[in-house]
A = this chain, B = another copy of it.
Amino acid sequence: MDATAVRVVGSPPCRVGSRMSIVPGGEVHGTLGCAEFDAAAIEAAVDVWASGDPQTRTLHHDLGDIEVFFEPSRPASRMIVVSATDVARELRAAMGPLGTEVTLVEPRTDRVARGDGPVVASLADLDLSDYDEAVLTDHDAPQVTETLALLLRSPVRFVGVMGSRRHVGPYVDELRSRGFSDQELARIRSPLGLDLGGRTPNEIALSIAAGVVAARHERDGGWLDR
């Protein structure tokens, strides 16, 4: 995240506009003018990062204070969409404006259409993190159980499977028999998305996109006015 000195009071060793780039627990570049300010900024950055919201904090020095504007810039989330389906394509279109990159997973090369990229053949080719959201758009695809097992062992923050409980139930049962607990299995969101009642691929994609955003903000997706 960026930490920028936006106000200087007294005569501390810092000028308005001095800036650091801080990855909490990682790389640091730039300086606010002295080791004390830099150390204080790195410490503050941990807090600000956890909050996710920009903040201005006052840092103290014997010669004067500075106000530092911290702006967390979390990496854009990534949506991993399994299976090249019409809904997968509409999801790419729906998530684009939200700054969410969509990566398609499809081992069946004959299903991949021009414009479907980036595509990987296997989920195992991806380095999964808690910035990833995963959606399975075809409960009849090969290796659904294995895909779900891999996702449940990963830190991805959202796992959704399109389809009714009737379709997804057998996979859940199979995963339970492989030792996944009910708590682990509860991560699988299915039926997936918000109840918009639409049936076309773009309506279904909108329902999933809206649900993913609601999940990001821990909301229930119901009407704001009802």
Contacts and interface: CB of A to CB of B under 8 A. Distances in A.
Interface residues of A, number: 37
A202 to B, nearest CB: 5
A95 to B, nearest CB: 10
A195 interface: yes
Contact of A206 (B98, B202, B218, B225): B98
Interface string A188-213: 01111111111000110111011101
A224 B97 contact: no
A90 to B, nearest CB: 6
A221 B193 CA distance: 9
B195 A220 contact: yes
Contacts of A210: 194, 196, 206-207, 209-210, 221
The 3 A-B pairs of least Cβ separation, nearest first, read: A197-B217, A210-B210, A197-B219
* Number of copies of this kind of chain in the complex: 2
B221 A191 contact: no
16 contacts: A90-B97, A97-B202, A98-B203, A99-B202, A191-B224, A193-B223, A196-B214, A196-B217, A197-B214, A197-B216, A197-B219, A198-B216, A198-B217, A206-B209, A214-B223, A221-B223
Given A94-B97, A202-B98, A195 B209 contact: no
Given A90-B97, A195-B223, A196-B210, 20 more contacts: A93-B97, A94-B206, A97-B202, A97-B205, A98-B202, A189-B223, A189-B225, A194-B210, A195-B219, A195-B220, A195-B221, A196-B213, A197-B216, A197-B219, A198-B213, A198-B216, A206-B206, A206-B209, A211-B223, A211-B224
